[in-house]
Amino acid sequence: MNSLKSQNYYDILGVGRHASAEEIRSAYEISRHTFQENSLATYSLFSDQENREILALIAKAFETLFNPESRRAYDAVLQWQEGEPSPAAPGGRPGVPGTQALAPPGSHGAQPGGAAPQGAAARAPPDGDAPRRTAAPTPGGEPMRHENPRPAGAAPAVPPSPAARGAPAPTVSTASPGPPLAKPAAASAAHKPAPVAHAPAPGAARDELLQAGARFDGATLKRVRQSLGISLEDLAERSKIRRAYLEYIEEEDFQFLPAPVYVKGFVTLVANFLGLPAQRVADDYMQIFRAKRP
Amino acid sequence: MWRRRNLPEAPGTASPFMGTPGIVGQIIRDKEIIAIGGGKGGVGKTLLAGNLGILFAKMGKTAVLIDADLGGANLHTCLGIPTPELTLSDFMTQPHLRIEDVMLRTAQENLFLISGAQDILNIANPTYNQKGKLLRAVQELMANYIVLDLGAGTSTNTLDFFLLADKGVLVVMPEPTSIENAYRFIKSAIYRRLRSVAADPRVRAVIDKAMDKKNDLGVRSPVELVDYVTGMDARAGGVLKQALRQFRPRIVVNQVRSLGDVRIGYAMQSVCQKFFGIQVEFIGYLENDEQIWQSIRKRQPIALTQDQGRAARNLRTIAYNLMNDLHLKPE
């Protein structure tokens, strides 16, 4: 059922983006009836087993969309994915790895961790993003706009791929179909705390961590994901969050992540997919995020 | 084009004259071809086709009913017209006959009928040329509404008529065999449409393979097929995707006895979207009604004789939604 994989929660429920809670609930009722056991409507197309799987997916969609907060987070992610074209770059989110060549001739790529020259900030395209970001109630929200080489502000160029991160000189990478997936091993190792014994059952490691009251930083999320046997590609496909962002989240490469409201949305989604308590994970992670990201 | 002829105007008599002054020689711009199919026999296609034709005609639109059930013609019976002299099969097999020659007046003003074939052995499998003659004639016919009553089954002729239409309607009953047949029909129609838009023989070969559920490509649905073809060739995949998007059959549920039966319509919408990746539209239902049964027995269509009652209301809703491109919304 490929079609299901490429559908967002609204499509799965069969409602519009601006559906009211009542419409969402009503759509859920219809779906429950449609995919019930021995359903007439699915006869000859879906088996009972498939019906159950679809119902589970629909239930998830309903839970996410019915709750206003999780719906907001999900909407934020969707909007990000769909990308509003900014004046600086044609189509797609500027600076998002994987989008088309964006750099006009003569512009330079962002410096990892460095402060973008004020000129770049001044050139920050007045897209719909700006007002939202300044409204973000995070400590240091204002300064972030100027100092951080936010992908859009730092000229319409693709941020250097993770592999190039260690390089001193800024890299101009244009039209890369996607960042190289290999990351410097040293970087990941640095983040890894003491290894946890590999648990036999998929959920065991996760439950252990929950019990132990672990703090959910990037590495912990990565560990949970791995213990569940989910690859980054898998997670990217299921959560619809770009693989690169998932990596940045796990490796805590905050300078390449977008505004906090989006990051929180991503982390919440990831937590849901990994079966972790979303609120707790988001709180933990965002604390680290705010502390680290200057 | 239409030519005036002096012929008696009793129902059941062929007359090429449209009957409405000003229509003769006029190019009709708002013309719609509507096909009523369903896969399974006895679900109510003819019933719906006949009554829709009458409703359109009552609104002052010129409507032509065509009984395209090659081998199982019933439309004339539903309308209370005696077995006609010249039929569709005559038109198809005799080159000198034009479509007007086989067109009959009905008791309803503005409504004309082209009755289906009587000779079962002869015309159930028309030749390529015969079929072409009919398809061309249907496309050239000057009327506001052309309603094709398709037969049961998923023969290529039936599928082609369905795909030729501006709006295709599937009639189902709330029971498994009908629904199974409807899905089979949809699947066949989709693959036939995809095949016809695919220019590359390799792509067509893939489509042919994909029709078999147990194919070795691992393709189990039209959506997976489109993905597969996109992998082969992005442009070809795009063409298929576009064709899928434009395929929008309507659904009518007949013999509704309960709210659960009504829900079948919505449920099928949901299922088709998930399995076929297409958007079907639930445009109405017909409640199980004594009136309908009586009307068939007496050969007096509901729309002709009744204004009141559930059946008449149901039919009007369907006609309205069909004409205005609307569909039902769950409360």
> pLDDT tens, A250-284?
998 888 888 888 888 889 888 888 888 888 899 88
C-alpha triplet B214, B215, B217: angle, nearest 5°: 135
Question: φ and ψ at A22, to 5 degrees?
Answer: -65, -40
DSSP code of residue B99:
G
For residue A132, pLDDT over 50 is answered with: no
What average pLDDT does range A142-152 have in this prediction?
38
Residue A6: the pLDDT is: 66
Q: Do A39 and B224 touch (CB under 8 A)?
A: no
Question: φ and ψ at A24, to 5 degrees?
Answer: -65, -40
Identify the sign of the CA torsion A271, A274, A276, A281: negative
Q: How far is CA A218 from the centre of its chain?
A: 13
Q: Do B270 and A43 touch (CB under 8 A)?
A: no
Residue B179: the pLDDT is: 94
How many CB contacts within 8 angstroms connect chain A with chain B?
Answer: 68
Q: How far apart are CA A157 and CA A123, in angstroms?
A: 13
Identify the sign of the CA torsion B206, B212, B216, B221: positive
DSSP code of residue B168:
E
For residue A151, pLDDT over 80 is answered with: no
Assessment of whether the complete model's pTM goes beyond 0.80? no
CA distances from B187 to A54, A221, B183 (A): 20, 43, 6
Q: In the structure encoding, which two tokens stand for residue B324, read together?
A: 């205005």
Q: Residue A2's closest chain B neighbor by CA? A: B224
Rg (CA), chain B: 20
Non-local CB neighbours of B203 within 8 Å, separated by 6+ positions: B229, B232, B233, B236, B240
What average pLDDT does range A229-245 have in this prediction?
85
| Cα–Cα nearest to B261, from B283, B293, B289, B285 | B285
Q: How far apart are CA B183 and CA B180, in angstroms?
A: 5
In the sheet that holds B281-287, the strands lie side by side as B103-105, B111-114, B63-68, B145-150, B32-37, B167-172, B250-256, B281-287
Of B175, B223, B269, the CB nearest to A2: B223
Distance from CA of A26 to the nearest CA of B (A): 8
Top-ranked range on mean pLDDT: pick from A195-199, A200-204, B289-293: B289-293
At A77, the amino acid letter reads V
Q: In the structure encoding, which two tokens stand for residue B145, read together?
A: 């509404």
Residue A217: the pLDDT is: 87
Intra-chain end-to-end CA distance of chain A, in Å: 44
For residue A90, pLDDT over 70 is answered with: no
Q: How far apart are CA A25 and CA A43, in angstroms?
A: 24
Name the β-bridge partners of B158. none
What average pLDDT does range A60-82 have in this prediction?
87
Q: Are A220 and A214 in contact (CB under 8 A)?
A: yes
Distance from CA of B244 to the nearest CA of A (A): 12
**Out of A117-131, A238-252, B170-184, least confident range:** A117-131
Q: How far apart are CA A149 and CA B293, in angstroms?
A: 75
For residue A112, pLDDT over 80 is answered with: no
Residue B24: the pLDDT is: 37
Q: How far apart are CA B331 and CA B328, in angstroms?
A: 9
Q: Are B276 and B285 in contact (CB under 8 A)?
A: no
Question: φ and ψ at A231, to 5 degrees?
Answer: -85, 165
Distance from CA of B219 to the nearest CA of A (A): 10
Rg (CA), chain A: 20
Three-class SS state of A225: helix
Residue A4: the pLDDT is: 61
Residue B48: the pLDDT is: 93
Which H/E stretch holds residue B103? strand B103-105
Residues A229-242 as b or e (16 or more Cβ within 10 Å = b): ebebeebbeebbbb
Contacts of A10 in chain B (CB under 8 A): none
Residue A5: the pLDDT is: 63
Contacts of B154 in chain A (CB under 8 A): none
Three-class SS state of B65: strand
Three-class SS state of B24: coil
Residue B51: the pLDDT is: 93
Neighbour-count burial of B178, counting CB atoms closer than 10 A to its CB (0-12 exposed, 13-18 middle, 19+ buried): buried
**Out of A173-177, A200-204, B178-182, least confident range:** A173-177
| Helical ranges in chain B per DSSP H | 45-58, 75-79, 88-93, 120-123, 128-140, 156-164, 176-197, 201-211, 222-232, 234-246, 259-275, 290-298, 302-305, 310-324
Neighbour-count burial of A276, counting CB atoms closer than 10 A to its CB (0-12 exposed, 13-18 middle, 19+ buried): buried
For residue A8, pLDDT over 70 is answered with: yes
Which H/E stretch holds residue A185? helix A185-191
Q: Do A33 and B267 touch (CB under 8 A)?
A: yes
Q: At what angle do helices A260-274 and A243-251 cross, to 10 degrees?
A: 90
Of B223, B263, B269, the CB nearest to A33: B263
Q: How far apart are CA A16 and CA A19, in angstroms?
A: 5
Q: How far is CA A31 from the centre of its chain?
A: 27
Non-local CB neighbours of B69 within 8 Å, separated by 6+ positions: B46, B75, B116, B149, B150, B151, B152
| pLDDT, tens digit only, all 331 positions of chain B | 333 333 334 444 443 433 333 333 445 668 999 999 987 788 888 889 999 999 999 999 999 999 988 767 788 888 888 888 888 888 888 888 888 888 988 888 899 999 886 665 656 677 888 888 888 888 888 899 999 999 888 888 889 999 999 999 999 999 999 999 999 999 999 999 999 998 889 999 999 998 887 888 888 888 889 889 998 888 999 999 999 999 999 999 999 999 889 999 999 998 998 889 899 999 999 998 888 888 888 888 888 887 788 889 999 999 999 999 999 987 6
Q: Are B53 and B65 in contact (CB under 8 A)?
A: yes
Of A1, A27, A43, the CB nearest to B179: A43
Q: Do A41 and B270 touch (CB under 8 A)?
A: yes
Confidence of residue A79 (pLDDT cuts 50, 70, 90): confident
